[in-house]
Amino acid sequence: MEFLKSYEPVPLSEFTLEGLNPSLHEYVIWDGHFGPMFDHPLHREVCLLSLAGVPADLSKNRAGGLSRINQVIDEKRTRLAEAALKNDWLNYIFLHNRPYRVDALVNVMNRIPLSRAWHLVRHVWIDSESNIQSETEWNWIWSRVYDRKGNFRRFHPRVMSIKDRDTYHALPDTVTIYRGCRSKTEIQAYSWTVDREKALWFARRCQVNSGAVVASVAIPKVCLLAYFSDRDESEVILDYLHCDLHLHDLEIQEVELVGLAV
């Protein structure tokens, strides 16, 4: 944040939690990359040593030091209450920091009719950078696609944009999908693509050794829960928890180091 640039960080030996509401102390992480940090669903502060020395700004009604965190949290809570009152659930979810938005989504899905929640699922999914840490939550969310008889719910296509619904419905009964990842241990996952080149890009994106792979499999379309084009990834959501019997035909191709041919 810009207001931190003009102030020297407080030495760790002199740092205390003075000014921070005691109820928020549990969100302090002492061994952060830049020293103590604050990680709360509604606010994140990566360097508390810098924030601790910042004076109050009376002209903008901003508290100084760690007290500023109290103020930010209180303001966010007020906005959350207002969003809930207006049924503005998208704003409600995105008032949370990214790692906590899936938790907020689950909370909302337990509060409103499922038919009104699918577009929220789409927004949170495409906003997420990694879903591994929230695997339990996403398992619960994607399982809502089915009714008690095991059929797709009537309104579940609302998880896709109108354009993407058309693409999804136009897919053949059997679809070849691809997944690029750093190792074979990461193959079992929701996020796949119908674009092999995009899978190759993902395999190489975070490649740190020669273990990266591109997996491919021909799968019945009924095992695909959605299609998303939002990030230009031609992404499909594979229900790998219920369709794993079809993965016996899985083909795995190792990816050479970046710059070399597959």
What is the mean pLDDT of the segment spanning 153-163?
96
Position 248 pLDDT exceeds 80: no
Q: Give the count of beta carbons closer than 10 Å to the beta carbon of residue 213.
A: 23
pLDDT above 70: percentage of residues in the chain:
91
Report the pLDDT value the prediction gives residue 1, as an integer from 0 to 100.
Answer: 45
Report the pLDDT value the prediction gives residue 217, as an integer from 0 to 100.
Answer: 94
What is the mean pLDDT of the segment spanning 127-139?
88
Report the pLDDT value the prediction gives residue 222, as an integer from 0 to 100.
Answer: 93
Position 3 pLDDT exceeds 50: no
How do residues 67-88 score in pLDDT, each as one tens digit?
999 999 999 999 999 999 999 9
Per the listing, tokens 């619904």 go with 165
HSE of 59, CA atoms in CB hemisphere, 13 A: 0
pLDDT band at 133, cuts 50/70/90?
A: confident
Report the pLDDT value the prediction gives residue 206, as an integer from 0 to 100.
Answer: 67
What is the mean pLDDT of the segment spanning 116-141?
92
HSE of 230, CA atoms in CB hemisphere, 13 A: 17
What is the mean pLDDT of the segment spanning 139-162?
94
How do residues 27-60 score in pLDDT, each as one tens digit?
999 999 999 999 999 999 999 999 999 998 888 8
Position 130 pLDDT exceeds 90: no
pLDDT band at 136, cuts 50/70/90?
A: very high
Q: What is the pTM of this model?
A: 0.88
DSSP structural state of residue 52: T
Position 259 pLDDT exceeds 70: no
pLDDT band at 228, cuts 50/70/90?
A: very high
DSSP structural state of residue 146: B
Position 137 pLDDT exceeds 80: yes
Please check whether residue 190 is in contact with residue 237, taking contact to mean a CB–CB distance below 8 angstroms: yes
pLDDT above 90: percentage of residues in the chain:
74
Give me the residue spans of the domains in the chain: 2-75, 87-159, 173-254
Report the pLDDT value the prediction gives residue 243, as an integer from 0 to 100.
Answer: 81
Please check whether residue 180 is in contact with residue 197, taking contact to mean a CB–CB distance below 8 angstroms: no
Please check whether residue 221 is in contact with residue 175, taking contact to mean a CB–CB distance below 8 angstroms: yes
Please check whether residue 194 is in contact with residue 177, taking contact to mean a CB–CB distance below 8 angstroms: yes
What is the rounded average pLDDT for all residues in the chain?
A: 90
The SS3 of residue 214 is: strand
Please check whether residue 112 is in contact with residue 89, taking contact to mean a CB–CB distance below 8 angstroms: yes
Greater confidence (245 vs 29) lies with 29
Backbone angles phi, psi at 25, to 5 degrees: -60, -30
